[in-house]
Structure 1
Amino acid sequence: MYIFSYDLHVIHFILGVFTVIMVVFNGIIEHFEHSLPQFIAEAFRYGKTLNGPAQTKLVRFIQVPKSWFLHFYIFSSIYTPFLLYQAYSSYVMHTEVPKSYLTALDVVCTENRSPSESKANILLALTLLCIQCFRRFYECAFVNAKSTSRMNIIHYIVGYAHYFCTATGILCQAPEYSTDTEEHINLGELLNLKTCLCVAIFSWAWIHQFRAHKIFAGLKSKNANKHGIPQGDLFELVSCPHYFCEVLIYTSLALLLGYTHTTMLVVWVWVCVNQTVAAFMSHTWYNKQFIKEYPSTRKAIFPFIL
């Protein structure tokens, strides 16, 4: 997308802005919350860290039901498989990539794009992302306890942007989608140590994130209007294992696609910052809410470290 003769990478820009906002606003609220207008803190916080319904009219006006989380998992569970199918058609069935797709990628990811990974790794990355999207859709639809809570519409929009940027970003630097190439797909090249390690990390994190969400759902089913202290599995080590696992999942995708896939590196930085900030907000809330009961040995997000 050209702006003042500059070819802007839309995905880098969107996720870069999100990342900066998370860092800056978290720092401001952390140190100056009592001096700020209430609506600023309420617009930034969400879930249990809001400590009840929003008090300011402006924030209440832009809130939507928290159950709408399901919407962007429906979107991602349709959009990501669609991109996987298109990549499979191009790489395995040898159909030509439609000109409209290349034009759209030129607009979103700039015209100056070069392939950074093999076709096999691109297909694997999209497959893993599909598996993640399907599980999150299943959790939101059938596992999570019903909630009457509300969330800021900005968080709702960020959810759509995240999955759009991640899925589209994988194709930004994919063979045939970035430049013409005669490279033939070789699925056998996936049988190497790096790929096996990436899939192992993804699988471990995927399983433990599911367990964490089931534990949350179990707590909510006991008392829908009250938060308790989660127990079991990785909760014995950190306050937010679901965020820890999210970081691991995207770390595995970034490692799979390699350091030359700059778009996935931008996605990875965004996920790390977003999940770490959210984890510290939750960790602080737990310690304030359960002053005596909360385990002092638990870290916020990274076991034994942070």
Structure 2
Amino acid sequence: MSEPWHTPILVAIGSTLPAQWCQAFFIFLSSGVLAVAVTPTNARRHLLDYGARSSVTKTERPENNAHDDWFTKLIATLTAWGQVPHSWFRYFYTTSLACSFFWLAQYLTNGRLLEFLATKQAALSDTQSSMAPGQVVLVWTMMVLQASRRIYEHATFIKPSKSKMWCVHWLLGLSFYLCMSVSLWIEGSQSIMNRSLTIFDTRSYSIKTGGALLAYLFAWVNQYRCHKHLAGLKKYSLPEEGMFRYLICPHYTCECLLYLAMAIYGAPNGALFNKTLLCGLIFIVTNLGVTAAGTRKWYMDRFGEEAVKTRWSMIPFLF
């Protein structure tokens, strides 16, 4: 008698590491962003543009061809539904901070959810694939510092905006932070199971991790400077100070560098990167890269190609 059709699926699910589920989720999100990036131009504007970029008038937009008309109208109808305030971006960081402390509380109180995930991860992976105790603590601290600074920025100098964004954008960002908050804990399953988390762990320190820490601090400080400069600009003007002299979106550059530093610092022994955090970085690069390309186009339409032609969009010497 043959086995039920769903048995192999259940076996595959049961043998999949929690870290692999997180990795697959980040890649799924990245694929969705790339799918949006290759839609027809006018439809893509409805899907991606918000705030200043959404103020482009219809006369500035390229003509639709006959094939695009029905699709663009469909997308316009879908995106008109479920608009949320652009200021809801701040909930990304309050969610990130809340989740960081939730998982810390799970560790300190032997919470069942973290125990279940860590046990499954540890049982299906080898000891060498887990972060050392000090790595878990420091990467967790990096996440907390980033979320705390962004909350501070929104509370102090980022001006309230009346612009809207599609709720799908907001849910996409929220799901990223929810998944990222647990990813670093999963990758430290062996240390969690051994109840050995401590910052005083010599296995966590090397030239590589020292460089990652310096990169993180550089990006953390300069992203703050970029955001403060943007907040102080006259509405819809061209930023030209600091890193903006060389990049269209240096605050995105810093965001990528922050998570690259985490992926390097959180790499298990013998590995160059933490695979789960690297998959999270792939989503960040994809998502912000598409937005940076749109920002460049908006600047060119508004200020002329000469104003931005010498600047990289987001990644120096590459993009």
Class of the TM-score when normalised by the shorter of the 2 chains? 0.7 to 0.9
1:14 to 25, 30, 34: 25
Is the counterpart of residue 252 in structure 1 residue 242 in structure 2?
no
Partner of 1:59: 79
Partner of 1:49: 53
Partner of 1:168: 182
In terms of mean alpha carbon deviation, does 118-127 or 17-26 score higher?
A: 17-26
- Give 1:200 deviation, angstroms: 0.7
Contact 2:130 2:191 in 1 (8 A): no
Alignment of 1:233-248 (within 5 A): 233-248=242-257
- Counterpart AA for 1:50: S
Q: What TM-score do you get using the length of structure 1 for normalisation?
A: 0.82
Contact 1:169 1:263 in 2 (8 A): yes
- Give 1:290 deviation, angstroms: 1.2
Contact 2:296 2:308 in 1 (8 A): no
1:188–1:102 Cα change, 3 Å = closer
Q: Which runs of 5+ in 1 are unaligned?
A: 90-94
1:174–1:287 Cα change, 3 Å = same
Partner of 1:295: 308
SS of 1:187's equivalent in the other structure is coil
Deviations 1:25-78 (A, max 9, x none): 21x23xx325xxx4x541233333333599934322221111111222211122
Deviations 1:69-89 (A, max 9, x none): 1222211122113324555x4
Equivalent-residue separation in structure 1 for 2:114 and 2:286 (angstroms): 31
2:9 to 4, 10, 16: 4
1:184–1:146 Cα change, 3 Å = closer
Alignment of 1:144-293 (within 5 A): 144-176=158-190, 180-181=193-194, 185=198, 187-189=200-202, 190-219=204-233, 222-223=234-235, 227-258=236-267, 259=271, 261-291=274-304
SS of 1:298's equivalent in the other structure is coil
SS of 2:188's equivalent in the other structure is coil
Corresponding pairs, count: 284
Alignment of 1:15-94 (within 5 A): 15-26=26-37, 28-29=38-39, 32-33=40-41, 38=43, 41-51=45-55, 56-84=76-104, 86-87=106-107, 89=108
- Counterpart AA for 2:116: T
- Counterpart AA for 1:289: R
- Counterpart AA for 1:238: L
Contact 2:119 2:189 in 1 (8 A): no
Q: Which has more radius of gyration?
A: 2
- Give 1:295 deviation, angstroms: 3.3
Q: Which runs of 5+ in 2 are unaligned?
A: 1-6, 59-72
Is the counterpart of residue 138 in structure 1 residue 152 in structure 2?
yes
Partner of 2:63: none
SS of 1:80's equivalent in the other structure is helix
Partner of 1:92: none
Q: What TM-score do you get using the length of structure 2 for normalisation?
A: 0.79
How many percent of aligned residue pairs carry the same amino acid?
24
- Counterpart AA for 1:112: L
Partner of 1:112: 124
- Give 1:255 deviation, angstroms: 0.4
Equivalent-residue separation in structure 2 for 1:168 and 1:106 (angstroms): 14
